[in-house]
Each structure stands twice: as C-alpha cells, then as structure tokens.
C-alpha cells in the first residue's frame, strides 16, 4: 500500500515541480525581506520546528468535528470547525516558511502537501460559511466538511512523508555518535581568517582561527538544517553562515543565531599534540 501511495505522489511531479519552484521562490523573496519573521515561523527561537506542533490542532479539531456532526451535535461541531480553520491558517503560514527551503524531490512533496492542505482549508472555510446560513444548508455544510477531512487526511500523510522520508526539518546530527574522546585531525595547520575543513575520525569538522596565536574554534561541517557544507560558508559577526539557506551558527559554541535551522550545531574542542599535530573532541550537548 505504501509503495502505491508513494508512487502516486511521485507521479505528481509534472505539475508540482513547476508550481512549487515558482510559488516557493516568490514566497521566499517575501521572507528574505522579513528574516526575523521567518525565524519566528521556522521555530529558530524555540529550538524546535513550529509547523508540526501546530498541525496537531487542526487534525484533532476536524476529527472531533466529524464525530460531532455524525452525532448530531451541531453547535459543538461548528465550534470545532471554526477552531480548526483558525489553526489551519496558522499552520499554513508556518508551513510556507519551512517549504521555501525545499528543493528537487523534497519540493515536489511539499507542493503536493500544500495543495491538499489548501484544498482542505477552502472546503472547511466554505463549510463554516454554510453552517452560519439557513438550516436547510446543513447537509451540504457537513458534506463539504467531510470532503475537507479527506483532503486533510491525505495532506497529513504526505506531510509525514516529507518529514520521515525526505528528511525535511530533521536534525542532521540526531543519530551521530556523541563520543567525547580526542581524535586526531587530518590537518596540522589552520591559517588565520579562513574556514578549513578537516576530519576527526568519521566527523567532518570546520575549523577557524581569527588570528595567529588565537584558539581554534570548530563546529561540525554539516549544517543541522539540511546538510549544507559549512566549510564553504561565510563568516558573519563571529558566526559561520551556511551557503545553502543562510543559517548562522556561533563559532564559539555552535549556538544558532539565525534560521531556518532550529537546532544548534555540534561544537568541538581543538588542541595541539606533543608531536605538533591537532586533535579534536566533541563538546557534550548543553556544556
């Protein structure tokens, strides 16, 4: 069943890809002009994506509304639908902030997800309007809600695929070893003022020294947001900025300073060995 559904989603690329590219580019330009707003909607301030937390509200509200409609509890069902519509609107805004940073196949899934959710929101908004009208329109209002629930369910499924299969907004370091043992680096020098990529065992690390004689600062070289190469990033006010989506991490400790990333970057200590080489170890989370 899952393979059949996945195949169906993949087959939407012919229309979803061009629409997604244009739509998310346009929305992205709006967010670029209001970067603090985008960080707020992404959840950079929270250390957790905001969108998936909000989506639980409309799914729950609309499920309750459907049950209440079947049970004939009209007033309570209307309140549940109104609650769901408000929550879906908020979810759409936060979802857009996440979606503008998707590309390729991931963007196709984001476009299909957004289309289904937008269709559901339109259906539920229409249902809410009908519920406020003449009593004779009640059956049509309920039928429209059920159509909206079908689109909501399908959209939620695609949203799950976007996260769990495509890895959107997933911490890229979630399953890495957290050993704090010292490991030899495969570089022996770090020129001042430059970002240098190195390896410490299986960890890719970006190194930076502000001036000769200063301590070497080090972070994991793979951006926590979408896997961008931080060693190819730029230096901005004591931070390294990811070249893919512009997330900024403080070189001193890896703390996030700007989204769309919502997770801190693993930081490393670096020291010289007696033989003149360099070695690094991961700083424990929360240290």
| Edge-first strand listing for the sheet containing 239-241 | 234-236, 239-241, 248-250, 256-258
| CB-based burial label for 135 (10 Å; 0-12, 13-18, 19+) | exposed
First to last CA, the chain: 45
Q: What is residue 21's predicted lDDT score, i.e. its pLDDT?
A: 95
% of the chain residues with pLDDT over 90: 83
Show the tokens assigned to 120: 């559901």
% of the chain residues with pLDDT over 70: 99
Show the tokens assigned to 190: 């770090």
Strands (E), 160-277: 183-184, 195-200, 203-208, 217-220, 234-236, 239-241, 248-250, 256-258, 267-272
Q: What is residue 286's predicted lDDT score, i.e. its pLDDT?
A: 61
Longest dimension (CA), the chain: 87
Q: What is residue 260's predicted lDDT score, i.e. its pLDDT?
A: 95
For the chain of 287 residues, list the mean pLDDT of each consecutive stretch of 10.
88 95 95 93 94 95 98 96 97 96 94 97 98 95 98 96 90 83 90 93 93 93 95 96 96 95 95 89 79
Residue where the block lists tokens 């998310």: 24
Residue where the block lists tokens 């890895």: 167
Q: What is residue 27's predicted lDDT score, i.e. its pLDDT?
A: 95
Spell out the CATH class of 183-282.
mainly beta
CA–CA distance from 43 to each of 50, 97, 165, 175, 196 (Å)?
Answer: 5, 10, 21, 21, 30
Q: How far apart are CA 84 and CA 173, in angstroms?
A: 34
Q: What is residue 218's predicted lDDT score, i.e. its pLDDT?
A: 96
Q: What is residue 165's predicted lDDT score, i.e. its pLDDT?
A: 87
Question: Do the beta carbons of residue 244 and residue 261 sit within 8 Å?
Answer: no
Q: Closest by alpha carbon to 226, among 202, 243, 239?
A: 243
Q: What is residue 213's predicted lDDT score, i.e. its pLDDT?
A: 87
Q: How far apart are CA 166 and CA 161, in angstroms?
A: 7
| Helix (H/G/I), strand (E/B), else coil: 191 | coil
CA–CA distance from 205 to each of 112, 158, 178, 209, 246 (Å)?
Answer: 36, 34, 14, 13, 18
């Amino acid at each position: 069943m899952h393979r059949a559904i996945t195949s169906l989603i993949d087959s939407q690329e012919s229309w979803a890809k061009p629409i997604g590219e244009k739509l998310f580019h346009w929305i992205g330009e709006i967010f670029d002009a209001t970067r603090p707003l985008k960080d707020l909607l992404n959840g950079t301030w929270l250390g957790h994506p905001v969108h998936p937390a909000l989506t639980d509200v409309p799914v729950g509200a609309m499920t309750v509304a459907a049950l209440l409609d079947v049970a004939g509890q009209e007033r309570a069902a209307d309140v549940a639908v109104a609650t769901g519509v408000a929550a879906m609107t908020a979810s759409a805004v936060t979802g857009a902030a996440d979606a503008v940073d998707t590309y390729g196949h991931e963007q196709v899934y984001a476009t299909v997800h957004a289309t289904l959710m937008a269709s559901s929101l339109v259906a539920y908004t229409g249902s809410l309007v009908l519920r406020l009208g003449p009593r004779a329109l009640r059956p049509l209002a309920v039928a429209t809600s059920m159509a909206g629930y079908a689109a909501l369910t399908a959209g939620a499924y695609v949203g799950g695929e976007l996260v769990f299969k495509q890895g959107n907004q997933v911490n890229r370091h979630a399953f890495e070893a957290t050993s704090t043992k010292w490991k030899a680096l495969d570089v022996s020098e770090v020129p001042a003022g430059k970002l240098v990529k190195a390896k410490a065992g299986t960890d890719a690390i970006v190194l930076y020294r502000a001036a000769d004689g200063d301590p070497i600062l080090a972070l994991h070289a793979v951006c926590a947001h979408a896997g961008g190469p931080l060693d190819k990033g730029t230096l901005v006010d004591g931070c390294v900025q990811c070249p893919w989506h512009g997330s900024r991490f403080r070189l001193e400790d890896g703390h996030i300073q700007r989204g769309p990333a919502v997770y801190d970057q693993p930081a490393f200590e670096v020291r010289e060995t007696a033989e003149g080489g360099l070695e690094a170890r991961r700083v424990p989370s929360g240290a």
